[in-house]
Amino acid sequence: MELCGKKILLVGMARSGIAAAELLQKRGATAVLNDRKKESDFGTDLDGLKAIGCEFRLGEDPVALLGEVDGLVISPGVPITAPVVTAAKEKGIPMVGEMELAASLLSSSYVAISGTNGKTTTTTLVGKIFENAGRVTHVAGNIGYPVSAVAMNDRKEDMSVIEVSSFQLESIDTFHPRVAALLNITEDHLNRHGTMAEYIRLKKRIFENQTAEDYAVLNMDDPELMKMVPDLKAQVAFFSRTQKVENGAFVEDGKIVWQWKGARRVICDADQILIPGPHNLENALAATAMTCVLGVPSPVIRHTLMSFTGVEHRIEKVRVFEGVTYINDSKGTNVDSTIKAVQSMKAPTVILLGGYDKHTDFMPLCREMVASGQIAHAVVLGETARQIREQLEEVGYTAITRAYSMQDAVDKARSLAVAGGNVLLSPACASFDMFRDYEERGRVFKEIVNQLK
């Protein structure tokens, strides 16, 4: 998309939208800002954009603005089926997503990670490995730091590590990571994408522009991902925690091993990885594969795996109070993610479940809660509380309590928990019914827990 001297309509003014506006202005365009919210709803968040010459058209119908602009940029929260996107296509107005725009303007090399679960942990871990290898590294994308913010200041010798969501993949065109990893595929975001087939198609797009000079990293233990292999143009590196792979990262005799085209090296003992749970072993294997294919030395990877303590809001120990361990897993925004958290519990646990309705089937989680034997009680809240209760009762699980706020949920969990046990916030749902995002939900949980007396 040509930018210099052009007026570009930017729809969606959350974090990525604000960064994209700054990037457009820096590249010589005039950013025309649009959002359903009015200017007064943003407080002082947009003051900096006014100072650099952005045009404010907040609260207006974006379709009506298309006749005044030369291009359209949409934030990840704006679906590809939105009326403004349809109208732009009909009028022949160029349209890209924020990530696509920013990636096309990056000076640095970049790698990308997607999947239903594990994206944030793996992205952070890969970034830390490159950083420990001496590269100036930018960790961005769906993780919360927009790629547009990176594109304003990165250099050719830097490395960018981008977490990519299905929302962002809807609107790519030339997005071309040197290494692209797809960690897993389970049901999520059907309220936006409609069907699993469409969700899978979008996830596969991360490999769309790769060539034989690039690398695709895939979880060999995920049958849905293995179906993609024949269509990939890139060199494929697998990872597996259950079986040996010919080219990739795997566990053998308790050790993480990297093997590529006949060469083999041991990275470290699997039990030396600090982040807990089998899912985090998979994340470590994916990070190993992604960095090994680009030549990062084994000692650097070993040191990082043995020192990386995880990310905020993902099975994060908050506090031990009255003998009970409180754990923040607010990043558990879908069923499969919460299943992994449940599998990590080794003591009687009160779990806090529920939130924004993404049209999810909770039955696999309900069965796992029964099978694990560690979930002593469920406190349900949010839009999905009734559905979760009903599906838990279907599998014979009746230790359920309704809560009506996070404070109420923590208070009730405290009264139900036993010394030596856990209280686990892992909602299996998005947060938008009660909070701005999962980060705010996690912070509120931690504040309440840390104030317990």
Residue type, 208: E
Residue entry with tokens 């030549």 = 295
Show the DSSP H helices in 293-330 as ranges: 298-307
Residue 396: C-alpha distances to residues 180, 217, 354, 368, 390 (Å)? 42, 40, 19, 12, 10
In this prediction, residue 192 carries a pLDDT of 76
Q: Which CATH number fits domain 316-450: 3.40.50.261, 3.20.20.70, 3.90.190.20, 1.50.10.20?
A: 3.90.190.20
- Integer Cα distance of 331 and 347 in angstroms: 21
Beta carbons within 8 Å of 373's beta carbon, 6+ residues apart: none
The answer to whether the CB of 113 falls within 8 A of the CB of 293 is no
- Residue range(s) in the chain whose domain bears CATH number 3.40.1190.10: 106-307
In this prediction, residue 73 carries a pLDDT of 97
Strand partners, 71: 8
- Integer Cα distance of 452 and 200 in angstroms: 43
- Integer Cα distance of 50 and 33 in angstroms: 10
- Integer Cα distance of 204 and 232 in angstroms: 9
Closest by CA position to 404, among listed 436, 382, 437: 382
Closest by CA position to 453, among listed 292, 297, 274, 321: 321
In this prediction, residue 277 carries a pLDDT of 82
Taking each helix axis from N to C terminus, what angle separates 119-132 and 278-292, rounded to the nearest 10 degrees? 40
- Integer Cα distance of 153 and 210 in angstroms: 25
Tokens at 392, concatenated: 């838990």
Closest by CA position to 362, among listed 382, 389, 332: 389
7-99: CATH topology: Rossmann fold (3.40.50)
In this prediction, residue 348 carries a pLDDT of 97
* Residue 92 DSSP symbol: T
- Integer Cα distance of 282 and 51 in angstroms: 46
pLDDT tens by residue, 326-336: 999 998 999 98
- Residue range(s) in the chain whose domain bears CATH number 3.40.50.720: 7-99
What is the helix (H) or strand (E) element at residue 7, kind and residue range? strand 7-11
Closest by CA position to 24, among listed 62, 71, 76, 94: 71
Tokens at 100, concatenated: 């696509």
Q: Is the dihedral angle over the CA atoms 24, 2, 175, 34 positive or is it negative?
A: positive
Show the DSSP H helices in 69-215 as ranges: 83-91, 98-104, 119-132, 147-151, 166-169, 190-193, 196-204
* DSSP secondary structure of 133-148: TT--EEEEETTSS-HH
- Integer Cα distance of 325 and 418 in angstroms: 10
Phi and psi at residue 189, in whole multiples of 5°?
55, 30
Question: Tens place of pLDDT for every residue, the chain, 453 residues?
Answer: 889 999 999 999 989 999 999 999 999 999 999 999 998 889 888 999 989 999 999 999 999 999 999 999 999 989 999 999 999 999 999 999 999 999 999 999 999 999 988 999 999 999 999 999 999 999 999 888 999 999 999 999 999 999 999 999 999 999 999 999 999 998 777 777 779 899 999 999 999 999 999 999 999 999 999 999 999 999 999 999 999 999 999 999 999 999 999 999 999 999 999 887 888 999 999 999 999 999 999 999 999 999 998 888 888 999 999 999 999 999 899 998 899 899 989 999 999 999 998 888 999 999 999 999 999 999 999 999 999 999 999 999 999 999 999 999 999 999 999 999 999 999 999 898 899 899 999 999 999 999 999
In this prediction, residue 433 carries a pLDDT of 86
Tokens at 12, concatenated: 């969606």
Q: Which CATH number fits domain 106-307: 3.40.190.10, 2.160.10.10, 3.30.1370.100, 3.40.1190.10?
A: 3.40.1190.10
pLDDT tens by residue, 179-237: 999 999 987 777 777 798 999 999 999 999 999 999 999 999 999 999 999 999 999 99
Beta carbons within 8 Å of 47's beta carbon, 6+ residues apart: none
User: Do the strands 263-269 and 255-260 form a parallel or antiparallel pair, or are they unpaired?
Assistant: antiparallel
Phi and psi at residue 231, in whole multiples of 5°?
-90, -5
Tokens at 380, concatenated: 């349900």
